[in-house]
Amino acid sequence: MILVLFPSVFTALPRPYNVKMDAVNTQYIMRWDWNHSMANHNITLSYSRSDERSYTEKCIGITEERCDFSRELDYSGSYILRVRAEGRGQMSDWYWLIFIPDEHADLDPPSHVVFVPGDAMVTVSFKEPMTEQNTPMRSVLDSMFFRLQYWEKHSPSKKQEKVFDTTEGTLFPLKPWTEYCLQVNAFSKPFNKTSPYTQQQCVRTLGHPPVWKVLLAFLGCVTLMTTVPVYRCHKKRTSLTSKHTFPSSILHNTQDPISLLLLPQEESCGATAVVAVQVEQTSQGQQQQVKGWGDVEAEQDSGSSSIQRGQGSSSQDSGIYSGEDGGKRSAGSTTT
């Protein structure tokens, strides 16, 4: 008899990978990755305490990539968790994970933080981290405190700290009328846990501002009130000079051209001419020439007007002198 053995071919399913536990406070969620090309397969998980050999199944036959252990695991316990893929009579190898909540779980920062400014002080209130059952984390952590970090907004490198054992506190004394930025976190030294800080918030303390700040504000107001009118005046003058062209006699003048334009028009240019008027004197029988002054509106007409009046005066003078000669001759005849 010849016995021929044919080795059976058995292909095991690939097990899940990238297995990890996301744990914050008392919320424990196990996550993993696995090959989604394996159709009609699912995942089964189980867990057990480290000092026990029996396992309790959890999340049996699921297709998701997460399983919540928050209600099954105690904060002070130590556990072994395992996960594998199953389907069609096949199973993958287990993936094992050791999890100790009070060592591996992170601590959340406080919530609902409120900063109320006062006279040279700030009052702080917040809500401490909570468990998955909505109870304070101090119910599972024997010792937990809160660290408040604060600093002046313009000096972030000079941070100061104050520790509270309650969810309310007061920072005093602080500088009045000064803006402070604050943030708070929770920590437990026995469990070696420290939460992240909350998002910083900035508030301004109340009280009387320092004298130098009052003076600075006053000087700023005075400077603003004097600078704006001067700037507007300068802008207006610049627009005037840019729009109009002035004669060279004005531009080369040492005075401001704008001031020349704004001078009151009290004087006007004019030209004068001599006008001869013939008046007959009956008492003496002689004629006298009376000269008067007249205003001429246009300077360009002064030349021609003077010439015409000069010619008129010459003719009139000839008449006067002729009259005088005639008179003398008549007197001579009579005497004769």
* Cα–Cα distance for residue pair 58/47, rounded to 1 Å: 7
Helix, strand, or coil (residue 101): helix
* pLDDT on residue 89: 82
pLDDT digits (tens, 9 = 90+) for 184-196: 999 999 999 999 9
Q: What residue ranges of the chain are covered by domains with CATH 2.60.40.10? A: 17-104, 111-205
- Range 111-205: architecture per CATH: Sandwich (2.60)
**DSSP label of 69:** -
| Nearest Cα residue to 178 out of 209, 157, 149, 217 | 209
Query: How close are the terminal C-alpha atoms of the chain, in Å?
Result: 210
* pLDDT on residue 42: 85
Residue 150 and residue 203 in contact, taking contact as beta carbons nearer than 8 Å: no
Q: How many DSSP H helices and E strands does the chain contain? A: 5, 18
Sequence-distant (≥ 6) Cβ neighbours of residue 113 within 8 angstroms: 124, 125, 126, 184, 198, 201
Q: Which amino acid is at 326?
A: G
Residue 154: both structure tokens together:
């313009």
* Cα–Cα distance for residue pair 241/229, rounded to 1 Å: 18
Q: What does each of the 336 residues of the chain score in pLDDT, given as a tens digit?
A: 233 333 333 457 889 999 999 999 999 999 999 886 665 678 888 888 887 778 999 999 998 899 999 999 999 999 999 999 988 788 899 999 999 999 999 999 999 999 999 999 999 999 999 999 999 999 999 899 999 999 999 999 999 999 999 999 999 999 999 999 999 999 999 999 999 999 999 999 998 766 766 677 778 888 888 887 777 777 776 766 655 555 666 555 555 555 555 545 554 444 444 444 444 444 444 444 444 444 434 444 444 444 444 444 444 444 444 444 444 444 344 333
* pLDDT on residue 111: 96
Task: Read off the pTM.
Answer: 0.59
* pLDDT on residue 216: 78
Domain 17-104: top CATH class: mainly beta
Residue 331: both structure tokens together:
């007197």
* Cα–Cα distance for residue pair 294/296, rounded to 1 Å: 7
* pLDDT on residue 120: 93
| CB-based burial, 240-249: b 16+ in 10 Å, e otherwise | eeeeeeeeee
